[in-house]
A = this chain, B = another copy of it.
Amino acid sequence: MGEKGDEGKPRAWERVSSEQLADYGIFRVRRDRARSPRDGSEHDFHVAESPDGVAVVALTEDRRLVLVEQFRHPFREVTLELPSGIVDEGESPAEAAARELREETGFEGGEAEVIGCIRLNPSWATSRVHVAVVRGAARTAEKDEDAGEETRVRLVPADRAREMVLKGEIDAGAAVCALALWMWNRERRGMEDG
């Protein structure tokens, strides 16, 4: 009972230097040298830099969720995730959401509503993922995949999403965060329908 937190907000580190080390296409690596506010000692911090992304909670009229299965090279396994991708230069997160949904799944819907933004791994990466909701999604076209992609669209009842996360069937960070933001937003608004 009556536990207390700490006083005093952590101080910023002074950056002494910053250097681009490598460009791997999908991410780059920089090294910051920075001075500890505690004792003045200098330390190196490696950071993976990547452009902003978007993850899309897309709902059909009959309240199913549009999911995407694809082979993921880090794990050499097929994962089940939300439609997602990179926000292109000059594009808004909402525009990127509509485009990625169309390209990855062939689905289109109403205007994308951006409901939040997640920093996937602040420990060593700049990855940010905007979360968008698209309602009234329906298949209007074929998928537009390049040779590096082979996806399978799966539709599941939206009410099953929470259970799929708890069972580990959906376990990708962006997907779980996006589903949480979507569900908690609905609860806050007192919405039942999307």
Contacts and interface: CB of A to CB of B under 8 A. Distances in A.
Contact of A79 (B38, B122, B137, B148): B122
B60 A3 contact: yes
A84 B121 CA distance: 11
A138 B3 contact: yes
A1 interface: yes
Nearest to A85: B123
B74 A122 contact: yes
B173 A177 contact: yes
Nearest to A61: B1
Interface of A: 1-13, 15, 21-22, 24-27, 29, 31-32, 34, 36-39, 41, 43-50, 53, 60-62, 64, 69-76, 78-79, 81, 84, 107, 116-127, 129, 137-139, 147-148, 150-155, 162-163, 165-166, 168, 171-174, 176-177, 179-181, 184-185, 187-188
22 contacts: A1-B61, A3-B64, A5-B152, A7-B152, A11-B150, A13-B71, A29-B29, A36-B147, A36-B148, A38-B147, A45-B73, A48-B48, A48-B74, A74-B122, A79-B122, A117-B168, A119-B171, A121-B121, A121-B174, A176-B181, A179-B180, A180-B180
4 smallest A-B Cβ distances: which pairs? A180-B180, A24-B46, A45-B73, A120-B173
